[in-house]
Amino acid sequence: MAVLKMILTIAFIIVSIALTVIILMQQGKNAGLGALAGGSETYWGKNKGRSMEGMLDKMTKILIAAFVIIAAVLNMGIF
């Protein structure tokens, strides 16, 4: 059981670092003056899932889920 706890702890640290990096890579949600001119109707506004921003958004959600699951498993006290 000690080996499993060590593996989960290492995975938890890696997920934490990756989550921090990905969150810092994301752009702010401030639309600025571009929203007044219909900036969301551009190609990148319609195809957000295919852009770098969309990929970072998906990766953030996956890493948050992994973070919560690993934290819950480590906190159960079965190790």
The CA dihedral of 35, 46, 61, 20, to the nearest 10 degrees, is -50
> So where are the chain's domains?
1-23+46-79
Q: What are the pLDDT digits (tens) for 5-46?
A: 999 999 999 999 999 999 999 987 765 555 555 555 555 555
Q: Are 4 and 76 in contact (CB under 8 A)?
A: no
Reported pTM: 0.73
Of 1-5, 16-20, 57-61, 68-72, the one with minimum mean pLDDT is 1-5
Burial tier of 18 (Cβ tally within 10 Å: 0-12, 13-18, 19+): middle
Reduce the DSSP state of residue 8 to 3 states and report it: helix
pLDDT score at 39: 52
